[in-house]
Structure 1
């Protein structure tokens, strides 16, 4: 027996400081970086088909494989998620409170507002009843990227969830409750089953029944050669003769170019230290990785394994009476992940689901004497798309659940894609849920429940009641015994449980008739019209993985998408009879979560259309006709690697000026991109990344300021400068990282009223600066009302400077830019955000103005881009009860509308005449 001591908190302030401020840049050229990308081991994985990925135990969702290549340090070929941990340590030590500027999320006045969805959950692996609740209805749940939540009455149809604690890491994956103190609980972070999707940073505990949480074990992500994140598979709080002993199962995955962690394995907390326990199994002393641990009726521990960092040790079951000495009870040659459930009445009765090698199936086994295991039949899913002998559909490494009724050993439940129940000890099965009404499922009289099941917990006082956790959130049954013949036995309980993972978001231009739209992982394209001011219920209008989404600025149509190049449109407003209009169905081009941008002046959609090593931009026209036109253009001198950011200029309205950023840091400005001929004589290419001034890396976003010369650019990568700015169209660039940490940046936006105020969306929330024009801007967290969650996109509604942020794990949020404090008006005057201008794109020159506060007298001036005043009106009466219409009789183009209080600008708004 070998024990390796790791201190309770192993990160030091000095290491955190160095990691926080140091950015590695070893001068890798674009050509060298392209070679690194093309020859990276990840590319072999990306070539695998969906079925091949499943057989290799790799999630079919390729998003995080692509993200790895986008985010890797160009000097090392690896990512550095440990840098986020360094930020966490820095903020802990400085009692971080945030900044004082007036950008979205920076104070209570501009706090981010959760917009939903409040009716759609997300991937959940943790659910448990509060042991201290006298009513037995208070439940906690943990989202894999959405944090820990509580519902005070799960049995009440109108009850809702509230987020609690543990904001700095939202990847909640396991829990334990102290058997000798019902107020002491533990949770672990990090989901190993999807690799980099839910990255953990340690374990947390509460001593007051979940009201407040503290760090128990902060993982040093630099520890060992692997430098990879750690994942907590299990936490066990075990009663050893009245003394609680706490065990942890840590997991990891193999890194590229070197061995993975040396710290995966089984741990025990002792005297303020956490000690790794390595045990000898047939002469093999390597640390085994437990995927599941159950406490038997005699207080022994049953431990199930999954493959370790050497790809061995899976498919096995052990038993221990002290947590340190183990006896093997079962082994399946070539097996991988095992999930098990131990009887609460018979110490020797255990059910187990064993993933067979290469995901060829799941073996269900059972022992009644603790020694000999019997193979049980698998349930056959009614879905004709699922093999009869493989109810997990090739994903046992991911969706695998088994639980035995605590009062009746013959009643057992298993879950994969759907749920099944046996009343005779697993010798026959009844299906009790369906994920859709496809094929044979349509005639099955059971409840519609989201696919991919992870957990089941029984009501402590009535085992006929239970709660399921799956990729769709939380589901509740008050009558499990009727589930095989009832469409209402299992119901969704996701009211305000907003842990949705969005790739993108879009907001309509009219504040009075707010439309919100988002593309969500595994939850399709989600839509709400006439949104209320807070959280909203959304409708799924397009299925699968929703990716890029757009709302036409005239609110005539919207666009939704699936992975690669699958796009459809809807005419607005959407009604119960609305049908989607196909634009393109092409899964052979582009990337998994493909990038795109809409020119809604000309109604043209531009997307990444690369394939087979040819880097191109594809263009779709006639977006609402049902017969969309298509074309593409490629120029290896300017689009020299896969496009990773596309931005349509709003300033060129008679044609399309397009900015395209690449995986190797190049930026091309393409004029006349709308030309039908796609000829080299009509499309004008300009490389605005002059002399490679932008560091090698992958462009994540391109945004424009007040004109086409003012450009803001961000990069995905670790180890590079991530934020760039030019005011002269790319001739001269300035690095704007300042004191910002070395972590990926996904989105950027400038305050339309103050070019010193800029926000960025990152892998660790929203950050803000109010001195962007300085040589070294100071960046602070700007996420009041939100969370430390990955932010994937920003979109600005120009009418009232509202910003929509999409997040990967906490849904959609809005906040507003406000005027600089030096330009603030008297309290009796209106703030700029109460003045509404709509539409912002007009075909006839008519614009409406109104106020949402009190009646108000103002003046309006409108300028063209050369600064010439083309319209002015004095003493304009704005009212709350009616709109004030103005007519701008000028040629088509972009103009700046300014609304004044005396000589102070209350609002500056870009408007377009088509």
Structure 2
């Protein structure tokens, strides 16, 4: 019997029983050395990152010193989180990422039904946080059920949480779900019964794995819209359902304020609508990267939608017939990337938009005073870059593709907040802005001495007048 072995281009032919092979430059006998790691996949990304930052001598906190000034190494911490997550999940020799996600295995095994009742587990924490940078997770969205005052918060990879005491304490509602990312929440008040809750699953802002492969295009891909009719105790899929292998996200859910059975979903591949409380969904418009969706405060037939698109100019669309037809009302520059929207009942004709550039910096603040028929620039990022790291907005770049949000005061249409790394406020309809809080006390960035709140704002929401 002939056996053919290929080693580094050399072909060795062994006849019969082959007991030993002697190669030039290699000792015979058993090789006890561990297999050499390939320079591709995870290891290639890791090597190139380390080579890039090696000359900067970045410290463990993600900073380096240049010309005597301590500077933040942009993306350094995010990469280290990504690296930590994947280094024990990839093939240790080839560097190949897993082809099957944990959520898919969970579904194959029947989910929570396979959980053993015999195991004894003790939480090792952390179980609390003192605020600031001792936080234990990223939140994508927060909503208030206005009748009860209950708060719901959706985490990027930690599920849906509920507070019944104004945020003093929280309980988790989704530990048995296959995907724990939550990007949007709709709560329907049920007098005399439990709240009806819809969640858009997945992590719309992608986090540290968005652009670094890792077997998925996002940290936490969507399984669609889930619904609970018992206040979050149990969850069932709706008619809008995905497999995690489809790599979709539900970016925004909006409830029709005139009909509790009608909900809109802006997703990574199109906008959908249900008129029967989630049983059936119809595709209203296909297209990638639909990142935000807002409804006119008094006319539920009028909708505004915006996109996130690195390769093409981002767009704002408007519908006047409940989503059946859409028209582009504002198209921005090819160098722009993401647009987020805000409306206010204080002036139902007004719509605000914040536009981020491809490098994450602020491009502009836009405003419409005619229900979104047209937009005009009221503030330029070239004046002050509100999406950067400095309190004076004098630096370049930012994180507008990752953390970007805008909210208009429901009682005063001229008061607007925007969030990125920091938070900024306008009291004159967006014409001028002041920094409200900073991500650090460091004098390098916070020479203004402003209050500190954790960096990276993914959602801004008014509860009543605050």
Name the TM-score, length of structure 1 as normaliser: 0.38
Q: Is this contact kept in 1: 2:437–2:450, CA < 8 A?
A: yes
The match for 1:265 is 270
The match for 1:164 is 173
Residues 37 and 418 of structure 1, relative CA distance in 2, 3 Å threshold: closer
The match for 1:368 is 369
2:455 alignment partner, SS class = coil
Does 2:304 correspond to 1:302? yes
* CA distance, structure 2, for counterparts of residue 314 and residue 448 of structure 1: 34
The match for 1:745 is none
| Cα deviation, residue 183, structure 1 | 2.9
Number of residue pairs aligned between Structure 1 and Structure 2: 386
* CA distance, structure 1, for counterparts of residue 409 and residue 163 of structure 2: 23
Does 2:178 correspond to 1:173? no
Matching residue within 193, 208, 214 for 2:236: 214
1:160 alignment partner, SS class = coil
Residues 83 and 167 of structure 1, relative CA distance in 2, 3 Å threshold: closer
| Cα deviation, residue 357, structure 1 | 3.0
Does 2:157 correspond to 1:153? no
Q: Give deviations 1:760-789, integer Å, cap 9, x for gaps.
A: xxxxxxxxxxxxxxxxxxxxxxxxxxxxxx
* CA distance, structure 2, for counterparts of residue 306 and residue 98 of structure 1: 43
| TM alignment of 1:302-701, pairs within 5 A | 302-307=304-309, 311-321=310-320, 322-334=322-334, 335-369=336-370, 370-377=372-379, 378=381, 380=384, 386=390, 389=393, 393-439=397-443, 444=448, 446-460=450-464, 463=465, 465=466
The match for 2:288 is 288
* CA distance, structure 1, for counterparts of residue 260 and residue 155 of structure 2: 31
Larger radius of gyration: 1
* CA distance, structure 1, for counterparts of residue 143 and residue 396 of structure 2: 24
The match for 1:129 is 144
2:38 alignment partner, SS class = helix
Does 2:243 correspond to 1:232? no
| Cα deviation, residue 72, structure 1 | 4.5
| Cα deviation, residue 409, structure 1 | 0.6
| Cα deviation, residue 424, structure 1 | 0.8
* CA distance, structure 2, for counterparts of residue 304 and residue 383 of structure 1: 19
Q: Is this contact kept in 2: 1:303–1:318, CA < 8 A?
A: yes
Q: Is this contact kept in 1: 2:314–2:332, CA < 8 A?
A: yes
Q: Is this contact kept in 2: 1:180–1:243, CA < 8 A?
A: no
Q: Is this contact kept in 1: 2:340–2:405, CA < 8 A?
A: yes
Q: Is this contact kept in 2: 1:384–1:439, CA < 8 A?
A: no
Residues 392 and 277 of structure 1, relative CA distance in 2, 3 Å threshold: farther
Does 2:123 correspond to 1:112? yes
Residues 430 and 212 of structure 1, relative CA distance in 2, 3 Å threshold: same
The match for 2:69 is none
* CA distance, structure 2, for counterparts of residue 339 and residue 215 of structure 1: 28
| Cα deviation, residue 345, structure 1 | 4.0
| Cα deviation, residue 145, structure 1 | 1.9
Residues 450 and 220 of structure 1, relative CA distance in 2, 3 Å threshold: same
More strand by share: 1
Matching residue within 142, 161, 173 for 2:154: 142
Residues 203 and 449 of structure 1, relative CA distance in 2, 3 Å threshold: same
| Cα deviation, residue 410, structure 1 | 0.4
Q: Give deviations 1:634-675, integer Å, cap 9, x for gaps.
A: xxxxxxxxxxxxxxxxxxxxxxxxxxxxxxxxxxxxxxxxxx
| Cα deviation, residue 301, structure 1 | 1.0
| Cα deviation, residue 303, structure 1 | 0.4
Residues 82 and 275 of structure 1, relative CA distance in 2, 3 Å threshold: farther
Residues 420 and 358 of structure 1, relative CA distance in 2, 3 Å threshold: closer
Residues 220 and 385 of structure 1, relative CA distance in 2, 3 Å threshold: closer
| Cα deviation, residue 111, structure 1 | 4.0
* CA distance, structure 2, for counterparts of residue 176 and residue 448 of structure 1: 30
* CA distance, structure 2, for counterparts of residue 59 and residue 416 of structure 1: 18
* CA distance, structure 1, for counterparts of residue 351 and residue 316 of structure 2: 10
Name the TM-score, length of structure 2 as normaliser: 0.71
Q: Is this contact kept in 2: 1:151–1:161, CA < 8 A?
A: yes
| Cα deviation, residue 366, structure 1 | 1.0
Does 2:224 correspond to 1:202? yes
* CA distance, structure 1, for counterparts of residue 42 and residue 237 of structure 2: 40
| Cα deviation, residue 418, structure 1 | 1.5
| Cα deviation, residue 416, structure 1 | 1.5
Does 2:106 correspond to 1:87? yes
Residues 167 and 38 of structure 1, relative CA distance in 2, 3 Å threshold: closer
Q: Is this contact kept in 2: 1:339–1:400, CA < 8 A?
A: yes
- Between 1 and 2, higher relative CO (CA 8 Å, sep ≥ 6) is seen in 1
| Cα deviation, residue 126, structure 1 | 1.3
| Cα deviation, residue 454, structure 1 | 1.4
2:105 alignment partner, SS class = helix
| Cα deviation, residue 91, structure 1 | 2.9
| Cα deviation, residue 113, structure 1 | 5.6
1:128 alignment partner, SS class = strand
Residues 112 and 359 of structure 1, relative CA distance in 2, 3 Å threshold: closer
Q: Is this contact kept in 1: 2:421–2:456, CA < 8 A?
A: yes
The runs of 5 or more residues in structure 1 that have no matched partner are 1-28, 52-56, 101-105, 224-228, 252-263, 280-286, 466-914
Does 2:80 correspond to 1:63? yes
1:362 alignment partner, SS class = strand
| TM alignment of 1:719-738, pairs within 5 A | none
1:352 alignment partner, SS class = strand
Q: Is this contact kept in 2: 1:59–1:398, CA < 8 A?
A: no
Q: Give deviations 1:152-198, integer Å, cap 9, x for gaps.
A: 2227xxx3222223443322221123489993221122223222434
2:184 alignment partner, SS class = strand
The runs of 5 or more residues in structure 2 that have no matched partner are 1-33, 54-61, 64-73, 211-217
* CA distance, structure 1, for counterparts of residue 175 and residue 397 of structure 2: 34
2:107 alignment partner, SS class = helix
